[in-house]
Structure 1
Amino acid sequence: MGGSGSKVKGVWPFSGSGNGGDSVSDGSEQSVAPIKGSRNATPFVFTRRSSLYFDEDGDLAHEFYEETLVTKNGRKKSKLKRIHKNLIPQGIVKLDHPCIHVDFPVVLCEV
């Protein structure tokens, strides 16, 4: 759905510790104090960046094409030319149903 993983390395936004869960501890070390605000993180995603664009007429689509007539060897042929200019991204879109974040570190269903 257009989402990607977190750019922050070593910090799980859904866990209570800031060590990322990657290190192996033998029980003699103290755990790192939780990062402020990480307990308020939710595993749900409510918005996403849209991959749709608006054109000059206000139409909404992934790609826009215009038909052009090409004359080659006395024959008229129509071709589609992709439009790249004057397109405005739709931006952030609210999801109808919340999704689970890709970095959520829990197995939800095991088969």
Structure 2
Amino acid sequence: MGGSGSKSKGFWPFAGSGTVTDPASEGNERSLARIRGSRNATPFVFTRRSSLYYDEDGDLAHEFYEETVVTKNGRKRAKLKRIQKNLIPQGIVKLDHPRIHVDFPVVLCEV
């Protein structure tokens, strides 16, 4: 499914060490949170980018192959050739159940 972490260096609401001992730094984090806190983020992911493609016929799959006949030394042989042109990505897919974001910094289960 190809889930990967966030690659941008922008603001991520879960960033930070989580341990604040200095009250001055706590005040700075709160003021920064107020400035950037206009968009509340959730640790859940509701959509993902699909790894499936549509072909010219409207079929949906990860890969498409075409059978070709190759003549070698007078013998006919069938080979599969991978199709990589004229494929349309499926796009964004809504998940059936919400997932927790890969960058969420909380340990869910301790062994």
- TM-score tier by shorter-chain length is 0.7 to 0.9
Structure 1 unaligned residues grouped into runs of 5+: 15-19
Report the CA distance between 1:27 and its aligned residue.
Answer: 1.8
Structure 2 unaligned residues grouped into runs of 5+: none
Q: Which amino acid in 1 is paired with 2:59?
A: D
Report the CA distance between 1:36 and its aligned residue.
Answer: 1.9
Q: Does 1:103 align with 2:98?
A: no
Counterpart residue number, 2:47: 47
1:84-95 mapped onto 2 (5 Å cutoff) = 84-95=84-95
Normalised TM-score (structure 1)? 0.82
Provide the C-alpha distance between the structure 1 equivalents of 2:64 and 2:43, rounded to a whole number of angstroms.
Answer: 35
Q: Which amino acid in 1 is paired with 2:13?
A: P
Provide the C-alpha distance between the structure 1 equivalents of 2:108 and 2:7, rounded to a whole number of angstroms.
Answer: 23
Q: Does 1:36 align with 2:43?
A: no
Give the root-mean-square deviation of aligned CA atoms. 2.3
Q: Relative contact order (C-alpha < 8 Å, sep 6+): which is higher?
A: 2
Distance 1:55 1:10, change over 3 A: closer
Counterpart residue number, 1:61: 61
Normalised TM-score (structure 2)? 0.82
Provide the C-alpha distance between the structure 1 equivalents of 2:68 and 2:93, rounded to a whole number of angstroms.
Answer: 33
Give CA-to-partner distance per residue, 1:7-47, whole Å, 9 cap, x none: 24484423xxxxx425x876263333212235x21111000
Contact 1:2 1:48 in 2 (8 A): no
Q: Which amino acid in 2 is paired with 1:37?
A: S
Identity %: 76
